[in-house]
Structure 1
Amino acid sequence: MSSAPSLAHQLLRRKPVEQLRAEAAEGVDGQPLRRTLGVWHLTMISVGATLGTGILVVLGTAVPLAGPAVWISFVLAGVAALLSALSYAEMAGAVPTSGSSYSYTYATMGEGIAWVCGWCLVLEYAVSVAAVAVGASEYVDETLRVFGLHLPAVLSAPPGDGGLVNLPAAALVLVAMLVLLPGAKESAWVNTLMVLVKIALLVFFVIVAFSAFRIGNFEPLAPMGAAGVSAAASRLFFSYIGFDAASTAGEEAKNPRRDLPRAIIGSIALITALYILVAVAAIGARSWTSFSADEASLVRIVVDVTGQPVVALVFSIGAVIAIASVVLTVLYGQTRILLTMARDGLVPKVFGRVSARTGTPIANTLIVGIVVTIVSALVPLGELADATSIGTLIAFALVNISVIVLRRTQPDLERSYRVPFFPVVPVLGVLFCLFLAVTLGAGTWIAFGIWMVAGAVLYVAYGRRHSTLA
Structure 2
Amino acid sequence: MSPAHTPKSSLPPLLGRGPQGVFRRTLPSEQPTGERMVRTLGLTQLTMIGIGAIIGAGIFSLAAAVARDVAGPAVLISFLVAGAASLCAAFAYAEFAGMVPKAGSSYTYCAAVLGELVGWIVGWDLLLEYTAIVAVVAIGMSGYLGFLLNSVGLDLPTWALGAPGTGAGHKVDLLAIVICLGVAWLLTRGTRTSARVETVLTIIKIAIVLLVIVVGFTKVNTDNLSPFAPFGLSGAFTGAATVFFAVFGYDALSTAAEESVEARKKLPKAMMISLAVSMGLYVLVCVVLTGLQNYKELNPSSGISSAFASVGLNGFANLIAVGAVIGIVTVTFSFMMGASRLWYALSRDGLMPAWFGAIHPKRRVPHRATWVIGVVSAVLAGVLPINAVAELTNIGVLLAFVVVSAAVLVLRYRKPDLKRGFRCPGMPVVPILGILFSVWLMSFLKWETWFRLGIWLAVGLVIYAAYGYRRTRQVMPGDSVDLDALNEMPDSDEPEGRLAPL
What is the TM-score of this pair, normalised by structure 2? 0.85
Amino acid in structure 2 at the alignment position of 1:12 = F
| 1:139 matches 2:140 | no
Secondary structure (helix, strand or coil) at the match of 2:259 reads coil
Mapping of residues 57-456 of structure 1, within 5 Å: 57-63=61-67, 65-158=70-163, 162-215=169-222, 218=225, 221-222=228-229, 226-286=233-293, 288=294, 290-292=296-298, 294=300, 296-305=302-311, 307-378=312-383, 383-456=388-461
Query: Is there any run of 5+ residues in structure 1 with no aligned partner, and where?
Result: none
SS at structure 2 position matched to 1:12 = coil
Q: Report the Cα distance in structure 1 between the residues aligned to 2:206 and 2:381, rounded to whole angstroms.
A: 26
SS at match of 2:401: helix
Q: How far apart are the structure 2 equivalents of 1:217 and 1:140? A: 27
Stretches of structure 2 that go unaligned for 5 or more consecutive residues are 1-11, 478-502
In the alignment, the residues of structure 2 paired with residue 156 and residue 400 of structure 1 have an alpha-carbon distance, to the nearest angstrom, of 41
| RMSD (Å) for aligned C-alpha atoms | 2.4
- When structure 1 is superposed on structure 2, of 217-226 and 428-437 the one drifting more is 217-226
1:48 alignment counterpart: 52
Instruction: Pick closer, same or farther for the CA change 1:361–1:295 going to 2, 3 Å.
Output: closer
Letter in 2 for 1:246: L
The letter for the 2-side match of 1:321 is I
**Structure 1 counterpart of 2:40, from 33, 36, 43:** 36
The structure 2 residue matched to 1:13, chosen from 14, 24, 29, is 24
**Bigger shift: 456-465 or 233-242?**
233-242
Alpha-carbon deviation of 1:252? 0.3
Offset of 1:136 from its aligned partner?
Answer: 2.5
SS in 2 for 1:13: coil
Q: CA deviation at 1:378?
A: 4.6
TM, length-normalised to structure 1 = 0.90
**CA–CA distance in 1 between the matches of 2:174 and 2:204?**
24
For the residues of structure 2 that align with 1:72 and 1:373, how far apart are their CA atoms? Answer: 33
SS in 1 for 2:435: helix
3-state DSSP class of the match of 2:265? helix
AA aligned to 1:329 is S
Q: Deviations over 1:412-442 (max 9, x none)?
A: 1110111111010000100111111122101
Q: Is the Cα contact below 8 Å between 1:183 and 1:358 reproduced in 2?
A: yes
The structural deviation recorded for 1:57 is 2.4
Distance in 2, matches of 1:224 and 1:163, equals 32
- How many residue pairs were aligned? 458
Q: Distance in 1 between matches of 2:145 and 2:79?
A: 28
**Residues 222-231 or 107-116, more deviating:** 222-231
8 Å Cα contact 2:209-2:323 kept in structure 1: no
Deviation at 1:223, TM superposition (A): 5.6
Residue 471 of structure 2 is matched in structure 1 by 466
For each residue in 1:82-133, what CA deviation from the matched residue of structure 2 results, as whole angstroms up to 9, or x when unmatched? Answer: 1000110000001111110000000111011111100111111111212322
Distance 2:334 2:392 in 1: 20
CA distance in 2, matches of 1:364, 1:28: 19
Decide whether the 8 Å contact of 1:155 with 1:165 is kept in 2.
Answer: yes
In the aligned structure 1, how far is the partner of 2:143 from the partner of 2:113? 43
Contact 1:105 1:113 in 2 (8 A): yes
Look up the SS of the partner of 2:154 in the other structure. coil
Per-residue deviation, residues 135-171 of structure 1 (Å, max 9, x unmatched): 3233222221112221113333456764454321221
2: CA distance, partners of 1:79 / 1:240: 10
